[in-house]
């Protein structure tokens, strides 16, 4: 298929399915315009177990995918036959979850005789802030902060990246979720910690800002989580709001400090912030302030595109098609797709 330009009415109509973890998502995109996007979140189902149970997730993808796909097509007033290409998340993620969206997308591509485009979930997050930008991804630094990843990446353009740093242990979202669990907050802890922090004193506890002087761009959040764990028995009743606010401030401080360092070293004028944790209001506020001081443009996706969604997957597929990508029906899921290997080729 010949790819048309992003603004052209002939830009390919791409359907993407995303099932890397516990969200069953579908989206339709034409060029830069998201025509419809649906997400069925399994949070309520996994909440009772305190975390994602892979087998339960795959069973629920099986139940949710068809209605989610139908609602997406209906939302855009389109039919499967209208599609020009079909994309799906290939990894990283849970094998038994990835497999469902990936197989369904492949099946649709085969049945329609259209190209199948596998997409890296992290690339979806990384490029999601550019979705509103007519020119697409450009020279910038990207920070992906999700439940599974914390990556600082130099972006040169679509498909051209260099890994600057990553977490050596817990991802930022994982740290939020673990602290939420320690405090008895519902799963996933991140949004609940953030909400509870609103009423807290962020200067009450001076939690460690690990690795700030490490001279590289790597992160570590497990010591911070342990510091919270050791603090709790010393304060009864636990000042939950103050702990949340002080913990959140430490995470934000670490992320901002390392990212600013990277922005300066790379001499870029754009920061693209993505992943579920980038919904965090304090994080947004502090990054906005830092970017103002640095004279850097901060690109943020709307909250619905920060957490797992299929629009970001459709967007990457559309960019790949514009770049001349061809169908990859032979592709397989890659549950443990390694960020270092992928980003540094
Ligand atoms: O990107 P995402 O939906 O899934 C992964 O690919 O991991 O990120 C989910 C993560 C969870 O750890 C969740 O707790 C965190 O993002 N999160 C937040 C907030 N909203 C979601 N963390 C802190 N503050 C928030 N407001
Ligand atoms: Zn994600």
pLDDT number for residue 345: 62
Distance of CA 286 to the CA centre of its chain: 19
Superfamily of domain 13-130+306-344 in the CATH hierarchy: ATPase, nucleotide binding domain (3.30.420.40)
What whole-number distance in Å separates Cα of residue 171 and Cα of residue 167?
6
Distance of CA 130 to the CA centre of its chain: 13
What is the rounded average pLDDT for all residues in the chain? Answer: 94
Number of residues that this document lists for the chain = 345
Backbone angles phi, psi at 182, to 5 degrees: -55, -35
Label residue 4 by pLDDT band (50, 70, 90): very low
pTM over 0.85: yes
Place of tokens 């799963």: 187
pLDDT number for residue 342: 80
Label residue 1 by pLDDT band (50, 70, 90): very low
Using the mean position of ligand 1's atoms as its centre, give its distance from the Cα of residue 251 in Å. 13
Which residue, 333, 338, 339, 325, is CA-closest to 18?
333
307, 311, 312: residue to mutate for ligand 1 pocket, most atoms within 8 A of CB: 307
Residue ranges per structural domain of the chain: 13-130+306-344, 140-300
Tell me which ligand sits closest to the C-alpha of residue 148.
Answer: 1
Do 13-130+306-344 and 140-300 come out as alike in CATH topology?
Answer: yes
**In Å, what is the CA distance from 176 to each residue of 40, 103, 147, 185, 308?**
22, 32, 9, 11, 17
pLDDT number for residue 6: 56
172, 177, 277, 311: residue to mutate for ligand 1 pocket, most atoms within 8 A of CB: 277
Note whether 117 and 321 are within 8 A (CB): yes
- Enumerate residues 6+ apart whose C-beta is below 8 A from 222: 169, 170, 175
pLDDT digits (tens, 9 = 90+) for 107-122: 999 999 999 999 999 9
pLDDT digits (tens, 9 = 90+) for 130-172: 998 988 999 999 999 999 999 999 999 999 999 999 999 999 9
pLDDT digits (tens, 9 = 90+) for 174-216: 999 999 999 999 999 999 999 999 999 999 999 999 899 899 9
Ligand 1, residues at Cβ distance < 6 Å: 146-148, 173, 176-177, 188-191, 194, 275-277, 279-280, 307-308
CB burial class (10 A; 0-12, 13-18, 19+) of residue 9? exposed
pLDDT digits (tens, 9 = 90+) for 305-320: 999 999 999 999 999 9
Region for 298 from its dihedrals, namely left if φ exceeds 0, alpha if ψ lies in -120 to 50, beta otherwise: beta
pLDDT number for residue 338: 80
The pLDDT of 50-57, averaged and rounded, is 89
CATH code, 140-300: 3.30.420.40
Strand order across the 13-18 sheet: 33-41, 23-30, 13-18, 85-91, 116-120
């Amino acid at each position: 298929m010949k790819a048309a330009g992003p603004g052209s009415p002939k830009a390919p109509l791409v359907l993407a399915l995303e099932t890397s973890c516990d969200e069953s998502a579908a989206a339709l995109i034409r060029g830069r315009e998201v025509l419809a996007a649906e997400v069925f979140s399994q949070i309520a189902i996994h909440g009772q177990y305190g975390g994602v149970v892979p087998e339960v997730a795959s069973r629920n993808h099986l139940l949710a995918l068809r209605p989610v796909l139908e609602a997406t097509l209906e939302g855009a007033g389109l039919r499967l036959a209208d599609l020009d290409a079909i994309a799906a998340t290939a990894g990283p993620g849970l094998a038994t979850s990835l497999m469902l969206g990936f197989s369904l997308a492949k099946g649709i591509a085969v049945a329609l005789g259209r190209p199948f485009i596998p997409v890296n979930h992290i690339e979806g997050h990384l490029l999601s802030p550019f979705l509103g930008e007519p020119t697409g991804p450009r020279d910038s630094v990207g920070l992906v902060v999700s439940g599974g990843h914390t990556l600082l990446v130099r972006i040169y353009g679509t498909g051209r990246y260099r890994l600057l740093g990553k977490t050596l242990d817990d991802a930022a979202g994982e740290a939020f979720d673990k602290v939420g669990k320690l405090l008895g907050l519902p799963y996933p802890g991140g949004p609940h910690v953030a909400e509870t922090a609103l009423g807290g004193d962020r200067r009450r506890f001076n939690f460690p800002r690990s690795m700030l002087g490490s001279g590289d761009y790597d992160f570590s959040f497990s010591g911070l989580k342990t510091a919270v764990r050791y603090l709790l028995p010393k304060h009864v009743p636990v000042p939950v709001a103050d702990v949340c606010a002080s913990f959140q401030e430490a995470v934000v401080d670490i992320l901002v400090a390392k990212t600013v360092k990277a922005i300066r070293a790379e001499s870029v004028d754009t920061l693209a912030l993505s992943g579920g944790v980038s919904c965090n209001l304090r994080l947004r506020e502090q990054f906005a302030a830092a970017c103002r001081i640095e004279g850097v443009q901060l690109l943020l996706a709307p909250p619905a595109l920060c957490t797992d969604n299929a629009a970001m997957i459709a967007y990457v597929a559309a960019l790949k098609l514009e770049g001349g990508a061809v169908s990859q029906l032979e592709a397989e899921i890659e549950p443990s797709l390694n960020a270092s290997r992928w980003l540094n080729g």
